[in-house]
Protein backbone atom coordinates (compact mmCIF):
# COMPACT_ATOMS: atom_id res chain seq x y z
CA UNK A 1 0.00 0.00 0.00
CA UNK A 2 1.20 3.46 -0.85
CA UNK A 3 2.62 5.62 1.95
CA UNK A 4 2.45 2.73 4.39
CA UNK A 5 5.95 3.39 5.70
CA UNK A 6 5.22 7.08 6.27
CA UNK A 7 1.90 6.26 7.93
CA UNK A 8 3.52 3.80 10.32
CA UNK A 9 5.99 6.49 11.40
CA UNK A 10 3.32 9.19 11.74
CA UNK A 11 0.97 6.96 13.73
CA UNK A 12 3.57 5.95 16.26
CA UNK A 13 4.75 9.54 16.71
CA UNK A 14 1.20 10.88 17.00
CA UNK A 15 0.15 8.17 19.45
CA UNK A 16 3.25 8.69 21.60
CA UNK A 17 2.49 12.41 21.80
CA UNK A 18 -1.21 11.90 22.49
CA UNK A 19 -0.70 9.38 25.28
CA UNK A 20 2.23 11.08 27.02
CA UNK A 21 0.25 14.32 26.68
CA UNK A 22 -2.68 12.83 28.54
CA UNK A 23 -0.43 11.32 31.18
CA UNK A 24 1.34 14.69 31.66
CA UNK A 25 -2.03 16.38 32.07
CA UNK A 26 -2.73 14.16 35.08
CA UNK A 27 -0.24 16.32 37.00
CA UNK A 28 -2.56 19.31 36.64
CA UNK A 29 -3.60 20.32 40.12
CA UNK A 30 -1.34 17.88 41.95
CA UNK A 31 2.21 18.86 40.93
CA UNK A 32 4.77 18.85 43.77
CA UNK A 33 4.91 22.64 43.45
CA UNK A 34 3.00 25.21 41.44
CA UNK A 35 5.72 25.66 38.79
CA UNK A 36 5.83 21.91 38.15
CA UNK A 37 2.07 21.74 37.94
CA UNK A 38 2.22 24.43 35.24
CA UNK A 39 5.18 22.83 33.46
CA UNK A 40 3.61 19.40 33.10
CA UNK A 41 0.27 20.95 32.12
CA UNK A 42 1.94 23.13 29.46
CA UNK A 43 3.91 20.21 28.08
CA UNK A 44 0.67 18.23 27.97
CA UNK A 45 -0.94 20.93 25.87
CA UNK A 46 2.06 21.07 23.53
CA UNK A 47 2.12 17.29 23.09
CA UNK A 48 -1.57 17.03 22.34
CA UNK A 49 -1.15 19.88 19.84
CA UNK A 50 1.71 17.96 18.22
CA UNK A 51 -0.36 14.81 17.99
CA UNK A 52 -3.17 16.80 16.36
CA UNK A 53 -0.77 18.21 13.76
CA UNK A 54 0.59 14.72 13.02
CA UNK A 55 -2.95 13.33 12.70
CA UNK A 56 -3.66 16.19 10.27
CA UNK A 57 -0.80 15.00 8.06
CA UNK A 58 -2.21 11.46 8.25
CA UNK A 59 -5.57 12.90 7.29
CA UNK A 60 -4.00 14.37 4.15
CA UNK A 61 -2.59 10.93 3.39
CA UNK A 62 -6.10 9.49 3.44
CA UNK A 63 -6.70 8.59 7.10
CA UNK A 64 -9.73 9.74 9.10
CA UNK A 65 -10.15 13.14 10.80
CA UNK A 66 -7.87 13.77 13.83
CA UNK A 67 -10.65 13.61 16.43
CA UNK A 68 -11.99 10.35 15.05
CA UNK A 69 -8.58 8.76 14.93
CA UNK A 70 -7.67 10.02 18.41
CA UNK A 71 -10.89 9.09 20.21
CA UNK A 72 -12.43 6.07 18.53
CA UNK A 73 -9.68 3.47 18.36
CA UNK A 74 -9.12 0.69 20.88
CA UNK A 75 -5.84 -0.10 22.59
CA UNK A 76 -4.70 -2.68 20.05
CA UNK A 77 -5.00 -0.06 17.30
CA UNK A 78 -2.58 2.29 19.07
CA UNK A 79 1.11 2.38 18.12
CA UNK A 80 2.60 4.26 21.05
CA UNK A 81 5.51 2.67 22.88
CA UNK A 82 4.42 1.10 26.16
CA UNK A 83 6.51 3.48 28.27
CA UNK A 84 4.15 6.41 27.71
CA UNK A 85 1.02 4.55 28.83
CA UNK A 86 2.17 3.71 32.36
CA UNK A 87 0.43 5.69 35.12
CA UNK A 88 2.25 8.81 36.30
CA UNK A 89 3.44 7.12 39.50
CA UNK A 90 5.43 9.33 41.80
CA UNK A 91 7.12 12.48 40.57
CA UNK A 92 10.49 10.75 40.09
CA UNK A 93 8.92 8.25 37.67
CA UNK A 94 7.23 10.99 35.62
CA UNK A 95 10.39 13.11 35.57
CA UNK A 96 12.65 10.31 34.35
CA UNK A 97 10.08 9.26 31.73
CA UNK A 98 9.84 12.88 30.55
CA UNK A 99 13.66 13.08 30.41
CA UNK A 100 13.99 9.90 28.32
CA UNK A 101 11.03 10.72 26.10
CA UNK A 102 11.79 14.34 25.30
CA UNK A 103 15.46 13.81 24.54
CA UNK A 104 14.34 11.24 21.97
CA UNK A 105 11.65 13.57 20.61
CA UNK A 106 14.19 16.34 20.20
CA UNK A 107 16.51 14.17 18.13
CA UNK A 108 13.63 12.64 16.18
CA UNK A 109 12.34 16.05 15.07
CA UNK A 110 15.87 17.23 14.39
CA UNK A 111 16.37 14.25 12.06
CA UNK A 112 13.01 14.93 10.41
CA UNK A 113 13.80 18.53 9.51
CA UNK A 114 15.07 17.32 6.13
CA UNK A 115 12.45 14.60 5.63
CA UNK A 116 11.37 13.96 2.04
CA UNK A 117 7.81 14.14 3.38
CA UNK A 118 7.42 17.92 3.04
CA UNK A 119 4.60 18.42 5.55
CA UNK A 120 6.47 16.45 8.17
CA UNK A 121 9.72 18.37 7.57
CA UNK A 122 7.84 21.65 7.97
CA UNK A 123 6.19 20.49 11.19
CA UNK A 124 9.49 19.13 12.53
CA UNK A 125 11.20 22.49 12.08
CA UNK A 126 8.41 24.12 14.04
CA UNK A 127 8.13 21.52 16.80
CA UNK A 128 11.86 21.29 17.41
CA UNK A 129 11.78 24.85 18.76
CA UNK A 130 9.03 23.91 21.21
CA UNK A 131 10.60 20.64 22.37
CA UNK A 132 13.73 22.60 23.26
CA UNK A 133 11.82 23.93 26.26
CA UNK A 134 10.67 20.46 27.28
CA UNK A 135 14.26 19.24 27.12
CA UNK A 136 15.48 22.26 29.10
CA UNK A 137 12.94 21.48 31.78
CA UNK A 138 13.87 17.78 31.98
CA UNK A 139 17.60 18.40 32.07
CA UNK A 140 17.33 21.13 34.71
CA UNK A 141 15.44 18.88 37.12
CA UNK A 142 17.55 15.79 36.44
CA UNK A 143 20.66 17.80 37.25
CA UNK A 144 19.15 19.58 40.25
CA UNK A 145 17.67 16.50 41.88
CA UNK A 146 20.40 14.12 40.68
CA UNK A 147 22.86 16.15 42.75
CA UNK A 148 20.66 16.79 45.73
CA UNK A 149 19.63 14.74 48.77
CA UNK A 150 20.20 11.03 49.28
CA UNK A 151 16.48 10.40 48.93
CA UNK A 152 16.24 12.34 45.66
CA UNK A 153 19.22 10.52 44.16
CA UNK A 154 17.99 7.10 45.23
CA UNK A 155 14.47 7.74 43.94
CA UNK A 156 15.78 8.90 40.56
CA UNK A 157 18.20 5.98 40.40
CA UNK A 158 15.34 3.56 40.98
CA UNK A 159 13.28 5.19 38.22
CA UNK A 160 16.23 5.19 35.80
CA UNK A 161 16.67 1.44 36.26
CA UNK A 162 12.96 0.81 35.95
CA UNK A 163 12.41 3.04 32.94
CA UNK A 164 15.49 2.40 30.82
CA UNK A 165 14.23 -0.86 29.27
CA UNK A 166 10.86 0.81 28.70
CA UNK A 167 12.60 3.73 27.01
CA UNK A 168 14.43 1.36 24.67
CA UNK A 169 10.96 0.35 23.47
CA UNK A 170 10.70 3.79 21.83
CA UNK A 171 13.19 2.57 19.23
CA UNK A 172 11.49 -0.71 18.36
CA UNK A 173 12.41 -1.22 14.70
CA UNK A 174 9.62 -0.74 12.20
CA UNK A 175 8.87 -3.36 9.52
CA UNK A 176 9.46 -0.49 7.06
CA UNK A 177 12.81 0.56 8.51
CA UNK A 178 14.80 0.04 5.29
CA UNK A 179 12.17 1.65 3.11
CA UNK A 180 11.72 4.69 5.31
CA UNK A 181 15.46 5.31 5.31
CA UNK A 182 15.92 4.75 1.57
CA UNK A 183 12.91 6.95 0.78
CA UNK A 184 14.54 9.74 2.78
CA UNK A 185 11.54 10.04 5.09
CA UNK A 186 13.43 9.34 8.31
CA UNK A 187 16.99 8.33 9.22
CA UNK A 188 15.78 5.30 11.19
CA UNK A 189 15.32 4.15 14.78
CA UNK A 190 18.85 2.88 15.34
CA UNK A 191 20.48 6.17 14.35
CA UNK A 192 17.99 7.95 16.59
CA UNK A 193 18.78 5.66 19.50
CA UNK A 194 22.49 6.27 19.24
CA UNK A 195 22.03 10.07 19.31
CA UNK A 196 19.65 9.67 22.24
CA UNK A 197 22.05 7.52 24.25
CA UNK A 198 24.79 10.14 23.94
CA UNK A 199 22.48 12.92 25.07
CA UNK A 200 21.18 10.87 28.00
CA UNK A 201 24.68 10.06 29.21
CA UNK A 202 25.83 13.65 28.82
CA UNK A 203 23.36 14.61 31.54
CA UNK A 204 23.67 11.48 33.72
CA UNK A 205 27.44 12.07 33.87
CA UNK A 206 26.80 15.45 35.46
CA UNK A 207 24.89 13.88 38.33
CA UNK A 208 25.40 11.31 41.07
CA UNK A 209 23.25 8.90 39.06
CA UNK A 210 24.50 5.85 37.22
CA UNK A 211 23.31 4.17 34.07
CA UNK A 212 25.11 1.33 32.36
CA UNK A 213 23.78 1.76 28.84
CA UNK A 214 25.88 -1.15 27.58
CA UNK A 215 24.36 -3.48 30.14
CA UNK A 216 22.20 -6.48 29.39
CA UNK A 217 18.86 -4.68 29.08
CA UNK A 218 15.72 -6.26 27.75
CA UNK A 219 13.83 -3.62 25.70
CA UNK A 220 10.10 -3.41 26.30
CA UNK A 221 8.84 -3.91 22.75
CA UNK A 222 5.32 -4.49 21.45
CA UNK A 223 3.71 -1.06 21.57
CA UNK A 224 4.50 -0.24 17.96
CA UNK A 225 2.52 -3.28 16.79
CA UNK A 226 -0.45 -2.74 19.09
CA UNK A 227 0.59 -4.85 22.07
CA UNK A 228 -0.07 -2.87 25.22
CA UNK A 229 -0.16 -3.12 29.00
CA UNK A 230 -3.39 -3.18 31.00
CA UNK A 231 -2.92 0.57 31.59
CA UNK A 232 -3.76 1.83 28.10
CA UNK A 233 -7.42 0.88 27.63
CA UNK A 234 -8.64 2.58 30.86
CA UNK A 235 -6.81 5.73 29.77
CA UNK A 236 -8.46 5.62 26.34
CA UNK A 237 -11.86 5.05 27.96
CA UNK A 238 -11.37 8.13 30.07
CA UNK A 239 -10.12 10.24 27.14
CA UNK A 240 -13.10 9.35 25.00
CA UNK A 241 -15.77 9.55 27.70
CA UNK A 242 -17.32 12.77 26.37
CA UNK A 243 -17.28 11.78 22.73
CA UNK A 244 -18.87 8.40 23.52
CA UNK A 245 -21.59 10.09 25.56
CA UNK A 246 -22.44 12.51 22.76
CA UNK A 247 -20.58 11.94 19.48
CA UNK A 248 -22.11 15.04 17.91
CA UNK A 249 -21.21 17.39 20.78
CA UNK A 250 -19.55 20.66 19.84
CA UNK A 251 -17.33 22.63 22.17
Binding site for another protein (CB under 8 A): 35-36, 38-39, 41-43, 45-50, 52-53, 122-123, 125-127, 129-130, 132-133, 136-137
Under 8 Å between Cβ of 47 and 197 = no
50 versus 224: smaller Cβ distance to another protein: 50
To another protein, the closest distance from the beta carbon of 126 in angstroms equals 5
To another protein, the closest distance from the beta carbon of 133 in angstroms equals 5
Query: What is the C-alpha separation between 75 and 62, in angstroms, rounded?
Result: 21
Q: Which residues touch 183 (CB under 8 Å, ≥6 apart)?
A: 5, 6, 116
38 versus 213: smaller Cβ distance to another protein: 38
How many other C-beta atoms can be found within 10 angstroms of the C-beta atom of residue 85? 26
To another protein, the closest distance from the beta carbon of 120 in angstroms equals 11
177: number of CA atoms within 13 Å, CB side?
11
To another protein, the closest distance from the beta carbon of 47 in angstroms equals 8
120 versus 185: smaller Cβ distance to another protein: 120
To another protein, the closest distance from the beta carbon of 150 in angstroms equals 26
49 versus 219: smaller Cβ distance to another protein: 49
127 versus 166: smaller Cβ distance to another protein: 127
Quick one: which of 184, 178, 179, 166 has its CA closest to 223?
Answer: 166
Q: For residue 222, is it left (φ>0), alpha (ψ between -120 and 50) or beta?
A: left
DSSP state for residue 90 in the 8-state scheme = S
Query: What is the C-alpha separation between 213 and 220, in angstroms, rounded?
Result: 15
Amino acid sequence: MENQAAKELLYKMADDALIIGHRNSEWTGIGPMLEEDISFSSMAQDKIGHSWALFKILNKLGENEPDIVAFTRNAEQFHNCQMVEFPIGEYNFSLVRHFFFDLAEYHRYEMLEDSSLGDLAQLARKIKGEIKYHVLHAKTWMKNLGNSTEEAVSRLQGSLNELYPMALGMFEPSPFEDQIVSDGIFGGESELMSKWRSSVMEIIDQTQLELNIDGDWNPLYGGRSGVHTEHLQPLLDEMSEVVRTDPAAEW
